[in-house]
Amino acid sequence: MDPLRVVIVDDEPLARERLRSLLAERPGYALVAECPDGEAAVAVLAGERPDVVFLDVEMPGLDGFGVLEALGDEAPPHVVFVTAFDRYAVRAFEVRALDYVLKPIQPARFADALARVEARRGAGAGPEEWAAIQDLLRELRARRGYPSRLVVRSGAQVAFIPTAEVEWIEADGNYARIHARGRDYLLRDTMKAVEARLDPDRFVRIHRSAIVNLDRIATVEPYFHGEYVVTLTGGRRLTASRTHAARLRDFLR
């Protein structure tokens, strides 16, 4: 039987060393990559497609939840969350029957996590597990605030876009196209999902097909039938529909 392929993601060298040494004592596992941050993890997970990932929750920049969000619609491998003691987070994992290990990592707890992985060997992260992870992401994101960066994957390339540099976002079929830095990036997610990720004090949806960064609005002019013309600092002119104009008027006040 082929060994289970494992990726370790943790910004702490000692934590990675601990996981590596514990894993080395277990036959049937092959460590294929270690990642010191979330940005590296996104690229590695997309390229390596491992069976299991030990994923640190708290990392500077892109945290563990941001890594999973960046995978988009792709179901992840089996995820074993690695976390410092946090009663709320641990309870959230347990309620959803998700695997986790606490720092400092104890051999017995590590063995329990691997036993659960092995019991589901070959099945991948099923729909129920992925739904539980998505539910956890939404809940903890609400508690943790809004991300400072958006992650966009295009093949093997990964772009990390500070939200402050986003000018506007437009619908592109079932996906969203981000305009920033004088370029555009296709994010394989719906406008509704992207809007939910953004700080509502900084971004406003002015049309079913357009979200704008309030800091990038240069002028707003009344138009016909309760609509507005919004001109961005880059010169782009957009129409705020009557349906969405109420929120824009709130900000103008």
CATH code, domain carrying 53: 3.40.50.2300
> Could you tell me if 26 and 105 lie in one domain?
yes
What was the pLDDT predicted at 139? 74
User: Rounded to whole angstroms, how far apart are CA atoms 90 and 192?
Assistant: 29
Q: What is the pTM of this model?
A: 0.65
> Could you tell me if 9 and 60 lie in one domain?
yes
What was the pLDDT predicted at 107? 93
> Could you tell me if 122 and 69 lie in one domain?
yes
> Could you tell me if 63 and 185 lie in one domain?
no
Q: Residue 167: which CATH number?
A: 2.40.50.1020
> Could you tell me if 164 and 206 lie in one domain?
yes
Which residue range forms the structural domain that includes residue 231?
A: 149-252
Total domains in the fold of the chain: 2
Q: Which residues have a Cβ under 8 Å from the Cβ of 159 and sit 6 or more positions away?
A: 151, 152, 153, 185
Q: Are 99 and 11 in contact (CB under 8 A)?
A: no
> Could you tell me if 201 and 104 lie in one domain?
no
> Could you tell me if 187 and 100 lie in one domain?
no
Last residue in a domain, options 114, 144, 174? 144
> Could you tell me if 115 and 27 lie in one domain?
yes
CA atoms within 13 A on the CB side of 147: 29
> Could you tell me if 107 and 181 lie in one domain?
no
The letter for the amino acid at 150 is L
Q: Which residues have a Cβ under 8 Å from the Cβ of 87 and sit 6 or more positions away?
A: none
User: Rounded to whole angstroms, how far apart are CA atoms 238 and 216?
Assistant: 12
> Could you tell me if 137 and 164 lie in one domain?
no
Cis, peptide link before residue 36, omega less than 30° from 0 = no
The letter for the amino acid at 43 is A
Which 8-state DSSP code applies to residue 104?
Answer: S
User: Rounded to whole angstroms, how far apart are CA atoms 68 and 76?
Assistant: 7
> Could you tell me if 201 and 228 lie in one domain?
yes
> Could you tell me if 76 and 58 lie in one domain?
yes
Give 174-179 contacts, CB < 8 A, sequence gap 24+. 178/150, 178/152, 179/234, 179/236
Last residue in a domain, options 113, 128, 144? 144
Q: How many angstroms separate the Cα of 204 from the Cα of each of 116, 148, 216, 222? A: 43, 16, 11, 17
What was the pLDDT predicted at 9? 96
Last residue in a domain, options 144, 163, 180? 144
What was the pLDDT predicted at 218? 94
Q: Mean pLDDT in each 10-residue stretch from start to end of the chain (253 residues)?
A: 91 93 92 93 88 88 81 75 75 80 90 88 68 77 74 77 94 94 89 85 93 94 88 94 83 72
Q: Which of 172, 171, 148, 169 is nearest to 160 (CA)?
A: 148
